[in-house]
Amino acid sequence: MVKLQVDHLTKHYWLEREDRNVLALSDVSFSVGDGEFMAIVGPSGCGKTSMLNIVAGLLTYEEGNVIIDNKKVKGPGIDRAVVFQHASLLPWRTIAGNVRYGMELQRRFDEKTMKERADYFIKLVGLTGFERHYPSELSGGMQQRVNLARALAADPAVLLMDEPFAALDAQTREFMQAELLKIWNKAKKTVLFITHQINEAIYLADRVVVMSARPGRVKDIFEVPFDRPRNLSLKREPRFLELEDAVWKLIEEESDRLGMVAAV
């Protein structure tokens, strides 16, 4: 069953500084099934973040369609939640207060349910005991867990993740990837995951959309055939590296086409 459908999406930008129109996304189409983990990779500036913002309803689009559960996306909605690249936590709220924040804004749950859900998701991301701490007291990885818990607590049908681990150091990132898979396994959400890291996309996702550089187009869609649950050691196996290599070649072509040194 299709949960999210992006259909012939095209997006233009007006570049104020250069006083010209830029085509950011050109005829992008793909669909994500219910409960599917879909990753999107592409070279820098391929419009993947623009696309996520459009799906989140934070950016308007003129041509094409973005459809979730047979309804056209026309702005932010309670059926989606975003995990941002920067944790974007309110510095004056405790961890518990931050996890509640999304639910409070959406006003879907009563006070008691919000409390229960906040507790549950704080536990799920492994932050029990930190409820009363402030974001400034937490490490970057822990802040991203709060960011994730806030999104999950809002009970979205589709979880949108915008390079959520890009700002973390390599070790924390790997660890967070493994954690995310565990959490996803329990929460059973449809996920759209943006990243510029090929191995992150393959490790996490059921399918990987590879996008071309400016303007962003769908270059190819890969099935990831590996069984779940996946261990981090999977990343060192030959079959994983083969797939990574295949995706890398596609992206390299793109970089060559634009005459730039691979910027991924």
Partner 1 sequence: MKTETTLAQPQIESKPLPRPRQSFFQKYEGVILGGIAVLIVLGIWQAVWSYTDWISPLFFSGPSAIGKQFWLSLTQGNLLADLAFSGKNFTIGFGIALVSGVVLGVIIGWYRRVRLILDPFLNALYAAPRIAMMPLIIIWFGIGMWSKVFIVFLSAFFPILVNTVAGIRNMDRDLLRAARAFCASDWQIFKTLAIPGSVPFILTGVRQGVAVGLIGVVVGEMLGSSEGVGFMVAYGGQTFQTDTLFVGFVIIAFAGILLTSLAERLERRFSRWRPDR
Binding region for partner 1 (CB under 8 A): 56-58, 76-78, 80-82, 84, 86, 88, 90-92, 101-102, 104-106, 134, 136, 154
Nearest distance from C-beta of residue 222 to partner 1, angstroms: 28
Nearest distance from C-beta of residue 76 to partner 1, angstroms: 5
Residue carrying the six token digits 């931050």: 98
Q: Of 20 and 107, which CB lies nearer to partner 1 in the complex structure?
A: 107
Could you give the CA distance from residue 55 to residue 52 in angstroms, rounded to a whole number? 5
Q: Of 45 and 77, which CB lies nearer to partner 1 in the complex structure?
A: 77
Nearest distance from C-beta of residue 224 to partner 1, angstroms: 27
Cβ atoms of 190 and 4 within 8 Å: the answer is yes
Dihedral sign computed on CA atoms, order 56, 60, 66, 67: positive
Q: Of 47 and 102, which CB lies nearer to partner 1 in the complex structure?
A: 102
Nearest distance from C-beta of residue 236 to partner 1, angstroms: 27
Nearest distance from C-beta of residue 153 to partner 1, angstroms: 10
Q: Of 152 and 218, which CB lies nearer to partner 1 in the complex structure?
A: 152
- Angle in degrees, CA 12, 18, 20, rounded to 5: 35
Cβ atoms of 151 and 117 within 8 Å: the answer is no
Nearest distance from C-beta of residue 164 to partner 1, angstroms: 13
124-129's contacts with Cβ under 8 Å and 24+ in sequence apart are 124/149, 124/152, 124/183, 124/186, 124/187, 125/149, 125/152, 125/179, 125/183, 126/179, 127/95
Straight-line distance from the first to the last Cα atom of the chain, in angstroms, rounded to the nearest whole number: 33
Residue 147, classed as helix, strand or coil, is helix
Q: Of 155 and 200, which CB lies nearer to partner 1 in the complex structure?
A: 155
Q: Of 136 and 171, which CB lies nearer to partner 1 in the complex structure?
A: 136
